[in-house]
Amino acid sequence: MKVYNRTALKVFFSVFCALVILTLPRHGVAADISSGLSILKDMEAALVSLADKTRPAVVTITPYIKSKNKKSRSIRRVRPTNTGTGVIIDGQRGLIVTNSHVVKDMSTPEITLMGGKKFQGKVLGADEETDLAVVQIETKNRLPEAQFGDSSDLHVGQFVIAVGNPFGLDSTMTFGIVSGLNRENINISRYEDFIQTDASINPGNSGGPLLNLDGEIIGINTAIINYAQNIGFSIPVNMVKAVVKDLIESGEVRRGWLGVGIEPVDKEKKVVENLGLGQGVYINAIFEGEPAEKAGLKIGDIIFKVGGAYVKSPATMIRVVGGITPGQLINVHVLRDGQKKVVPVTMGIAKKKERVVMLPRNSIRSLGLAVRDLSNVLKEKYNLFDKEGVVVTDIFPDGRSEKASLKKGDLIMAINGQSIKSRVEFKKVVGDLVSDDTIFLLIFRGKESLHITVEGVN
Q: Could you tell me the pLDDT band of residue 128, with boundaries at 50, 70 and 90? A: confident
Annotated catalytic residue 451: no
255-304 pLDDT tens trace = 888 888 887 776 555 566 556 666 788 887 788 788 999 999 998 899 99
CATH domain 55-253 topology: Thrombin, subunit H (2.40.10)
Q: Give residue 68's pLDDT.
A: 47
Q: Which of 115-119, 194-198, 354-358 has the lowest mean pLDDT?
A: 354-358
Annotated catalytic residue 394: no
Percent above pLDDT 90 for the chain? 22
Of 154 and 64, the structure prediction assigns the larger pLDDT to: 154
This prediction has a pTM of 0.65
Q: Could you tell me the pLDDT band of residue 365, with boundaries at 50, 70 and 90? A: low
Q: Could you tell me the pLDDT band of residue 63, with boundaries at 50, 70 and 90? A: low
Does the structure show a pLDDT above 80 at 230? Answer: no
Q: Do domains 55-253 and 256-357 have the same CATH topology?
A: no
State the Cα–Cα distance between residues 13 and 265, nearest whole angstrom.
43
Q: Could you tell me the pLDDT band of residue 346, with boundaries at 50, 70 and 90? A: very high
- Give the rounded distance of the alpha carbon of 97 from its chain centre: 13
Catalytic residue among 179, 189, 206, 366: 206
Annotated catalytic residue 206: yes
Residue 195 neighbours by CB under 8 Å, 6+ apart: 151, 154, 178, 180, 181, 183, 210, 218, 219, 233, 234, 235, 236
- pLDDT, averaged across the chain: 79
Cβ-contact 303, 312 below 8 angstroms: no
Residue extents of the structural domains in the chain: 7-54, 55-253, 256-357, 362-454
Highest averaged pLDDT of the listed ranges 55-69, 320-334, 424-438: 320-334
At the fourth CATH level, the homologous superfamily of domain 256-357 is PDZ domain (2.30.42.10)
Catalytic residue among 42, 100, 127, 131: 131
Of 448 and 327, the structure prediction assigns the larger pLDDT to: 327
Determine the average pLDDT of the residues in 359-369: 58
Catalytic residue among 100, 101, 179, 410: 101
Q: Which residue, among 241, 242, 259, has the nearest Cα to 325 in the 3D structure?
A: 242
Q: Could you tell me the pLDDT band of residue 81, with boundaries at 50, 70 and 90? A: very low
Dihedral sign for Cα atoms in the order 246, 247, 249, 255: positive
CATH number of 362-454: 2.30.42.10
